[in-house]
Amino acid sequence: MVWDILVNNVGTNIRKTWIEMSDEESAAVFATNLHAPMELCRALFPYLKKGNRSAVVNVSSVAARVDVGSGAAYAVSKAGLEQFTRVLAVEWASHGIRVNAVAPWYIRTPLAEPVINNPGRLARILERTPMGRVGEPKEIAAAIAFLAMDKASFVTGQCVVADGGFLSSGL
Task: Count Cβ atoms within 10 A of the Cβ of residue 38 and give its class: 0-12 exposed, 13-18 middle, 19 or more buried.
Answer: middle
Task: Count Cβ atoms within 10 A of the Cβ of residue 73 and give its class: 0-12 exposed, 13-18 middle, 19 or more buried.
Answer: buried
Q: Active-site residue among 55, 61, 73, 74?
A: 74
Sequence-distant (≥ 6) Cβ neighbours of residue 72 within 8 angstroms:
17, 18, 21
Annotated active-site residue 47? The verdict is no
Per-residue pLDDT tens digits of the chain, which is 171 residues long? 556 999 999 899 998 999 999 999 999 999 999 999 999 999 999 999 998 889 999 999 999 999 998 899 999 999 999 999 999 999 999 999 999 999 999 999 988 899 999 999 999 999 999 999 999 999 999 999 999 999 999 999 999 999 999 999 976
Number of domains within the chain: 1
Question: What global pTM score does this model have?
Answer: 0.94
Owning domain of residue 133: 5-168
* Dihedral of alpha carbons 120, 133, 149, 63, sign: negative
123: CATH: 3.40.50.720
